[in-house]
Structure 1
């Protein structure tokens, strides 16, 4: 239907142009502001209000009378969701909507590779375009504050600079297809517990330094066309109609010219929605995911109730003109853009993209020999082993199923077991080891203890007979795992996996742990397990990517986008009382303030299990001494810091060179150091490269909430070069005059 409508618009335009009567809003050669102004002048109030709320679960109406088409949205962020029924959460039962599953965004962040982010955005944008989706509800950029947050796997880690750098090319890649990216969830949405009502109280410093930068980069550098509001409140206002977030910060300070879309069920008041920056209301009278509405779409807050307020003068008519104008601009950029490409869907090229990103983001956490004078356990040489035992439900489980709105129906699903079998053939034997049950959204599917014990006993017996064991476990998309709608119940592994791992490594010390998760976990067995691979949720090509890294066909180069604390209490959000997480059922107080992730561990001198920015390789790298181009700079100047990096091993590899800035003295307390640059470089054996970073005033600044502005205080700074947040290879001092 949409293609026919698009062609009819083109035909009408050509016909009217020939007659010299084409309306301005149809002329794509004219400035978009002129087109919007002309279309608004032709629209009735009913048509304007209709644009401001849903007409189905995932669409809003256009203006049929004027030939302006509908706007269709799709869930992401790791693939294009299956087609759904018009007014239900059930799948429509199509047979041609099985997508490519790309790696979860934690994996993308772990690549520390801007090129991979652009590749990801382009490919998923092509899939959305092919499916005639105008808005992709992705990516997510909320900050990793606690390892218990059920949606951390959808986000880009604990550091605002890393998230900012990775989100921009993703957005640009998507929008090259004439599909709007919709960055979410704006803002301070860092837990699923009480997510619909919890009110976040935090300082201006935490807001501006930690929780807003990735959104700001999305707007000002990425040019994103839409943003989704969050469920939670911020300082007493629901985020989907927050005067502070939407009017003052997003639209005034950042000059955002796009559309604010509510999360599904995130609107609570007509007047606030009218006045406080919301543009499109989606999914109200539901809980955002499961409960079907008994109301019609005219019952939405921004429908008949809004119309009534407008007619009575309770809210200005200018509000609807502003909202409709923004929505028209989005339609002109997407569904009425006759120049956008056609896209492509679930093809081999996209599967290759998914595998390449997965391989680039897999992190090697530990790789030690089982005995002295032996080589590290990985890469796993097939010639050394006759019997390779694979254990773990995640080796065969469909990990695209469950997890809330990110669940996907996929065309291709290469499981870890399938990938290992393709690599090592009949040397592979498999046993389940544990079981987790069905991916239920609101409760745990209990597994009888007798069954769990039996599965564990079989796995341990087989481990004794094997030459080497590969355990594939971790988290999944079940309730209280990595899933929307619930936070994790604890920091440890569920389904008695810790007991299983301890039993397996006791039976056979040659063991590789493959952790599938979007979160850090507790590792009580870490000293006994010689090799650990952080595998993330890797999408359609999971098995092939893992097998390529485990075998050494691909040298691992991922680095952690968040820290792994030893125990939960080490984390800043869990170092206080329940009011700091998960809150007192009304408010949650961010007493950890700006000290999130490595900023907290540095400041408190807490040793972590695996630090931010950490990841091993099958080769080794040495760093030269960092050199600054000048010993001093002014606010108007920049300087460069350079460092040489050499591959001193025997195989080609990639290294992520990280720049941290340390302020020696400041009026207000600052973190010990902060990430302000990174480059991922490829090096052949013996090859050396020079890496250059440019330092400007913005990289030295912090938000002074007393003055209400960003400031860079004169004084001494250090440019610190590291291979992780704790593996610091050198530094160079300079002065800001």
Structure 2
């Protein structure tokens, strides 16, 4: 083998000078990418082209070694860089240097309502992916939060398309500065996990364009994402990984996407549809049982030998193949063959602190009656921490986002570290759940245990009677049927008897703080009894330190909810109209555009438990009256709204000022109001600032499915400014002429 290698090298160096120069055009990073793409494409054989369109291992696809074009290496996931796995297995490869920083889940990022945090997130995770020499990061996820039962909501950015659009763009841009492609997922309409592999979504074009596509469109047109991942489900009875309408007509047609469409793992079902309906790279397909298990199983993928046979027989031409390969080459030249590609960094203190900062800004203070929070440890001698989530590892489990974290600070550890010797901290589990096996360990099994809920609860309640303050840390976890890929929750309530435990704790000790670790809304039958409630999300490596900094007042909470917390499941549009999870074949989105707060605003007999955009602070803010710079705007103008916000409390804080637009008269039913602007403003005690928002007619438009275009109808509109969708401070009317 060595002799053969030497001979090949010798024959290359023996080429005439002009031939060497010709051969290196596509290798010259100073040349325009399109020129390099065409130069490389014409040098490739048919077999080399086909090979690039499908996987060669669990997370890689071939390059062209003969031409010096490297392989493509993908990595999960959206919250941290997955541990290395074996070539043909999902199990960990047992490396000793692949322990990552776990960043907060994307619900936590969305809850910051801060695009600077999105940029910091993208920069940090992009550097980690680059250091591990991955050139495609399988994330971020921007599927819309349609139902609080979706097991994968924790990976996404909430219920509002405007918020998700604004948060995803800086994330993508910063990831890609590292020479790593952001692969935005799951395109599209992947809003439930149950039946996800085949469920056909029936949704009208208005809802599709107004609710479910805007974040993907922003990712493409503003973020300039280099990759998009198709989803498992079907739309118009075609799987979304090879869907003519979504991929060819909209993504590549209307939006002009020039990147790569990558299948979700196992999301490909047909060779010809994969050829013609917009897919570029196939990963993870389960071929038929006869071929599964062979050493070269990847050659049996739909875009592998079956594709090559169709090409060689003349049944299909290379037109579609060349388009796929152009896109893959473009990906390669943008990433692992890019000029001056940085080296990245991995598992650093800088990244851990970035994750802590994001987590701190995303923590939401839901309720704080009597100002129980923040707690002063100097005046609190006996602290009781109750709840399994105070000690449970949340970086493992949950599906493809499961991580091998370098470390994870639990809420209990964060509390103990913060108070030090100032207070005595005691822990009681209170409840328990089945253990989760670590997914990177071959043959790992969850530890089975017998749980005596009555004793756990009784011990915790008795201990609560002697404490100065009780921190109950509960919520959901990454177990199957909770916040976990592959399945949905069965109900809105808390699992494992937590509701009864909370009710008894607060009876035993009124100074009880409920801390929720979730990626979804939950029911709170005890909400009127508990003085303080904190939503801390899945906050990653520095979770405990971030939480403790808020509980004890080192950080003033400033997070806002990126989705609505309903009182009952029936207060959610998808469930009120009876279409989740569908009949296992089809699911109808009968609520149309009325998702989240858009649905809640329509209800006259019920109000949300906690509204979209809600979040309290340890200080207070006063809003002036919103004003407009004109009373009438034309279609080619913008209009600017201004409002004064003052910190009327005694300490520095941040407020998220939200702008909603209401169309007072429309030819089609429209939501009462829609988010069209937000600004996170930091104010010292007593300080005031003027916050401004400028909008164009795009913010006034709706999608007319009959005309298949966006329409802004002349007439009266109203701009509403507030602290949440349910806390509007003032409004001003204006006309579109």
Q: TM-score, normalised by structure 1?
A: 0.95
Distance across 1 between alignment mates of 2:519 and 2:448: 23
**Is 2:401 the counterpart of 1:401?**
no
Match of 2:671 in 1: 671
- How far apart are 1:559 and its partner, in Å? 0.2
**Is 2:132 the counterpart of 1:131?**
yes
Distance across 2 between alignment mates of 1:17 and 1:349: 48
Q: Secondary structure at the match of 2:207?
A: helix
**Is 2:640 the counterpart of 1:640?**
yes
Change (3 A) 1:649 1:96: same
**Is 2:497 the counterpart of 1:496?**
yes
Change (3 A) 1:338 1:143: same
Distance across 2 between alignment mates of 1:562 and 1:341: 36
Do the aligned residues in 1 keep the contact of 2:260 with 2:280 (CA within 8 Å)?
A: yes
Distance across 2 between alignment mates of 1:585 and 1:234: 14
Match of 1:430 in 2: 427
Deviation digits for residues 711-733 of structure 1, max 9, x if unmatched? 00000000110100000000111
Change (3 A) 1:443 1:130: closer
Match of 1:588 in 2: 587
Do the aligned residues in 1 keep the contact of 2:30 with 2:339 (CA within 8 Å)?
A: no
Do the aligned residues in 2 keep the contact of 1:260 with 1:277 (CA within 8 Å)?
A: yes
Do the aligned residues in 2 keep the contact of 1:403 with 1:484 (CA within 8 Å)?
A: yes
**Is 2:421 the counterpart of 1:419?**
no
Distance across 1 between alignment mates of 2:265 and 2:495: 30
Change (3 A) 1:616 1:384: same
- How far apart are 1:17 and its partner, in Å? 9.2
Deviation digits for residues 665-698 of structure 1, max 9, x if unmatched? 0000000000000000000001010111001010
- How far apart are 1:467 and its partner, in Å? 1.2
- Mapping 1:258-269, distance limit 5 Å: 258-269=259-270
**Is 2:686 the counterpart of 1:686?**
yes
Change (3 A) 1:444 1:717: farther
Change (3 A) 1:293 1:651: farther
- How far apart are 1:445 and its partner, in Å? 8.1
Match of 1:5 in 2: none
Q: Secondary structure at the match of 1:327?
A: helix
- How far apart are 1:316 and its partner, in Å? 2.5
Distance across 2 between alignment mates of 1:460 and 1:226: 52
- Mapping 1:233-272, distance limit 5 Å: 233-272=234-273
Distance across 1 between alignment mates of 2:499 and 2:92: 36
Match of 2:3 in 1: none
- Mapping 1:610-625, distance limit 5 Å: 610-625=610-625
Runs of 5+ unmatched residues, structure 1: 1-7, 370-375
Distance across 2 between alignment mates of 1:67 and 1:90: 30
Distance across 2 between alignment mates of 1:282 and 1:672: 43
- How far apart are 1:313 and its partner, in Å? 2.5
Match of 1:703 in 2: 703
Deviation digits for residues 260-295 of structure 1, max 9, x if unmatched? 0000000000000000000000000079xxx97887
Q: Secondary structure at the match of 1:682?
A: strand
Change (3 A) 1:294 1:520: farther
Runs of 5+ unmatched residues, structure 2: 1-8
Distance across 1 between alignment mates of 2:303 and 2:464: 61
- Mapping 1:317-396, distance limit 5 Å: 317-369=318-370, 376-396=371-391
Do the aligned residues in 1 keep the contact of 2:287 with 2:301 (CA within 8 Å)?
A: no
Do the aligned residues in 1 keep the contact of 2:247 with 2:279 (CA within 8 Å)?
A: yes
- How far apart are 1:576 and its partner, in Å? 2.0
Match of 1:476 in 2: 477
Q: Secondary structure at the match of 1:659?
A: strand
Q: TM-score, normalised by structure 2?
A: 0.95
**Which portions of structure 1, spanning 4 or more consecutive aligned residues, are displaced by more than 3 angstroms?**
15-22, 291-295, 440-449
Do the aligned residues in 2 keep the contact of 1:286 with 1:293 (CA within 8 Å)?
A: no
Match of 1:373 in 2: none
Do the aligned residues in 1 keep the contact of 2:653 with 2:684 (CA within 8 Å)?
A: yes
Q: Secondary structure at the match of 1:89?
A: coil
Do the aligned residues in 2 keep the contact of 1:572 with 1:600 (CA within 8 Å)?
A: yes
Distance across 1 between alignment mates of 2:39 and 2:264: 30
Once the two structures are overlaid, the 10-residue window that deviates more, 90-99 or 435-444, is: 435-444
Once the two structures are overlaid, the 10-residue window that deviates more, 679-688 or 428-437, is: 428-437
Change (3 A) 1:609 1:44: same
Do the aligned residues in 2 keep the contact of 1:120 with 1:170 (CA within 8 Å)?
A: yes
Q: C-alpha root-mean-square deviation of aligned residues, in Å?
A: 1.8
Distance across 2 between alignment mates of 1:140 and 1:182: 9
